[in-house]
Amino acid sequence: MIRSIRSFLNDTAIVGQEDNYAKTFHYFGAGAALLAPQGVIYNEGYLSIGDETMVGPSVCLTAGMGPGQTMLSNPVVRIGRKCIIGRGSHIIGHWSIELGDEIQTGPYVYITDQNHGYEDIDAPVGWQATKEGAVKIGSGSWLGANVVILPGTTLGRNSVVAAGAVVRGEFPDHVVLGGVPARILRHYDEARGWVDGAPLNG
């Protein structure tokens, strides 16, 4: 009985384009859904969710440090069409996070465009000035469970990031990344197909 009630409540709490709440977003696409229970979501006017994109349960989507903050760009977080964002993931934007179309993530992926500095050795790291770096994930890519995408990362189209990888830097289309820090494990070569290691010019 309790399980049935919980299932009913979760179905009822799914947010779709026709819900009043969806209208508070910068864009909330046709066929898009925020599954229940939703995680922390604030500054919705700076968040864009593409058509037919599904945001899983307990996903946190935020722009800025707290509700009501005025941001310098809009949208701050843009998720493209037909994406699937895995359960418990966090997409925390301050300047620019852009996910292309048809991206899928496993659970508990963390994507941010801001980190604290640590240069002042006498000040607690958490109180030091922050640094932003735009993040862009190419269309068609897959991010495995527990992947961390750090500020300044650009990932090309149709790429794979192995579970648990910590990614920072610029990477071309059609690569497989893994490790901490992430490196190119395989890449696609037009003449040879999939090849181990990074491309010679990469």
Q: Which residues are catalytic?
A: 116
For the stretch 135-172, what's the b/e string if a residue is b when 16 or more beta carbons lie within 10 angstroms of its beta carbon?
Answer: bbbbbbbbbbbbbbbbbbbbbbbbbbbbebbbbbeebb
DSSP string of 103-115, one letter each residue: -EE-TT-EEESEE
174: DSSP letter: S
Instruction: Pick left, alpha or beta for residue 6 (phi over 0 → left; psi -120 to 50 → alpha; otherwise beta).
Output: alpha
Residue with tokens 């030091």: 128
Query: Mapping DSSP to helix (H, G, I), strand (E, B) and coil, where does residue 138 land?
Result: coil
What token pair was written down for 3?
Answer: 């399980």
Other beta carbons less than 10 A from residue 26's beta carbon: 17
Kindly provide the b/e burial profile for residues 40-75, where b requires at least 16 CB atoms within 10 angstroms of the residue's own CB.
ebbbbbbbbbbbbbbbbbbbbbbbbeeeeeeeeeeb
Which amino acid appears at position 157 of this protein?
Answer: R
